[in-house]
Amino acid sequence: MINSNEINNKTTAENNEIREKIKKLIIKKNYKLRDLSRNIRKNDAYLQQYLYRGTPKILPEEYRLKLAQILDVNENELIPSWLKNLSPKEQFIKFRNVENKVGHIEQISISKELLIDLDFLNEENFYYFQTDTSDGHLTTIVDVRIKKFIKPDIYLLNDKKNYFLAYIELSKFNPAKLSVKPYFNNFSPFQINANLLDISGRILWKCSKIF
């Protein structure tokens, strides 16, 4: 019978193998740990501590995915076998970045179990948009087919290539206009004719993460 010490030794060995693989990839790509840590939105010493001090023991999924994208490898190559075996049937959906700006993560993966209300028949029209908040960042899934107001909801707006989230509803004072309430307070609410509003898509799902 395998005891707990043998299991711990095995998982530790697999965790170390992943660390060594990441170290080699970083050397091959000639990246600096500080820059990589910043690119996955962590403090400057995060990857240094993970790779050489073993803290954390494994990379959280969000940062593992970002690191895999930067290093141009399949995320599965950075997952120890023992962790894969815990949830072998879990499916992940990939979403492209709606902004497509230099320096942004091109795509992210989200567990399908978190997206139970989405209709994946139109999956090719789903993108992600991520915006920073004072507590971390807000990740949303956007249906880019929807380019006009259809019902009161949160939409992704585009003001001269500056994207922002806003709740839109019909104006209570003028039925010919829309009432736009930006999701964050750095923009003021305003009224506007529907044909003048540049809507990039409707928000289907949102999740905030504090880190």
Report the candidate in 91, 100, 180 with the shortest Cα–Cα distance to residue 144: 100
- pLDDT confidence bin for 161, thresholds 50/70/90: confident
pLDDT tens-digit map of 92-141:
788 999 987 666 678 888 887 788 778 887 889 999 998 877 666 788 99
**Do residues 95 and 128 make contact, with C-beta atoms less than 8 angstroms apart?**
yes
Reply yes or no on whether the pLDDT at 89 is more than 60.
no
> Which CATH number is correct for 4-89, 3.30.2020.30, 3.90.1150.180, 2.40.50.140, 1.10.260.40?
1.10.260.40
- pLDDT confidence bin for 160, thresholds 50/70/90: confident
Residues of the chain with CATH 2.10.109.10: 93-210
- pLDDT confidence bin for 1, thresholds 50/70/90: very low
Mean pLDDT (the chain, rounded): 85
Tell me whether strands 153-159 and 136-143 are parallel, antiparallel or unpaired. Answer: unpaired
pLDDT of the residue at 65? 85
**Do residues 208 and 140 make contact, with C-beta atoms less than 8 angstroms apart?**
no
pTM listed for this prediction: 0.60
**Do residues 29 and 22 make contact, with C-beta atoms less than 8 angstroms apart?**
no
Reply yes or no on whether the pLDDT at 46 is more than 50.
yes
Reply yes or no on whether the pLDDT at 2 is more than 50.
no
Residues of the chain with CATH 1.10.260.40: 4-89
pLDDT tens-digit map of 66-78:
898 888 888 888 8
The stretch 76-93 carries a mean pLDDT of: 74
DSSP assignment of 100-131: --TTS-SEEEEEGGG-TT--GGGGGGEEEEEE
**Do residues 109 and 75 make contact, with C-beta atoms less than 8 angstroms apart?**
yes
pLDDT of the residue at 210? 41
pLDDT of the residue at 3? 45
- Give CATH superfamily name and number for 93-210: Umud Fragment, subunit A (2.10.109.10)
10-19, 125-134, 194-203: which is most confident: 194-203
